[in-house]
Structure 1
Amino acid sequence: MPLSHQDQVTLLKDILNNHQTDCCGSTAECEQLERLTKSLMVNAQVNQNVKSILQDVYYYSQTGAQTADLDQHILSNQENLSQWVNNIDQFS
């Protein structure tokens, strides 16, 4: 059964929160973020303000999936991670 767009948003926020809280993550999580953001960006039910945030999250996840030091990538995006989650909550 496919996830609703709201379930996808919740999963996206959970992964971002985990990265922000734990200051670490996995390549698989970054790949999951990529898939979630791509799916949500083409969904007409998603608020346009959220879609602009999703573009930043997509770039973050792409870079994270390709970096040699994922923990450092997550650490350097700590402020962005919490801001993205707060903004998604505000618009969804």
Structure 2
Amino acid sequence: MPLTHEHQLGLLTDILSNHQEDCCGSVSECEQLERLVTSLKVNGNIDQNILPILEEISQYSQRGIHTSNLNNHIESSQEQLSQWVDGINGFSG
């Protein structure tokens, strides 16, 4: 059974929250973020105002996939992580 866009948004915020709380993560989590964002961007059921946040998360995940020090990348993105989670929760709640 495929994930609904609500479940996808929940998974997206879970991963972002974990990155924020733990200040660390994995390349596979960044790849999962990218897959979720790609799927959500083509979903007609989501609030279109969330698209700029999804684009920023896509850039974050791409940089995370290609960085030599993922934990530093996550640590330097703490403020954005919080803003994205709050923004997504505002649109999906």
Q: TM-score range by the shorter chain?
A: over 0.9
TM-score w.r.t. structure 2 length? 0.97
* 3-state DSSP of counterpart to 1:29: helix
Root mean square deviation of aligned Cα = 0.5
TM-score (norm 1): 0.98
Q: Does 1:76 align with 2:76?
A: yes
Q: Structure 1, residues 17-38: CA drift from partner, whole Å, max 9, x if none?
A: 0000000000000000000000
Match of 1:53 in 2: 53
- Per the TM alignment, residue 72 of structure 1 is displaced from its structure 2 partner at its CA by 0.2
Identity rate of aligned residues, in percent?
A: 58
- Report whether the alignment pairs 1:7 with 2:7: yes
What is the distance in 2 between the residues matched to 1:19 and 1:11?
A: 12
Distance in 2 of aligned mates of 1:72 and 1:56: 18
Mind listing any 5+ residue stretches in structure 2 that lack a counterpart?
A: none
Q: Which runs of 4+ in 1 moved over 3 A?
A: none
- The Cα shift of 1:48 comes to 1.0
Cα shift at 1:52: 1.1
What SS is found at the alignment partner of 2:87? helix
Alignment correspondent of 2:22 = 22
Question: Where do 5+ consecutive residues of structure 1 fail to align?
Answer: none
Partner of 1:86: 86
- For residues 49 and 77 of structure 1, the distance between their equivalents in structure 2, rounded to whole angstroms, comes to 22
Q: Where does residue 67 of structure 1 map in the other structure? A: 67
Aligned residues: 92
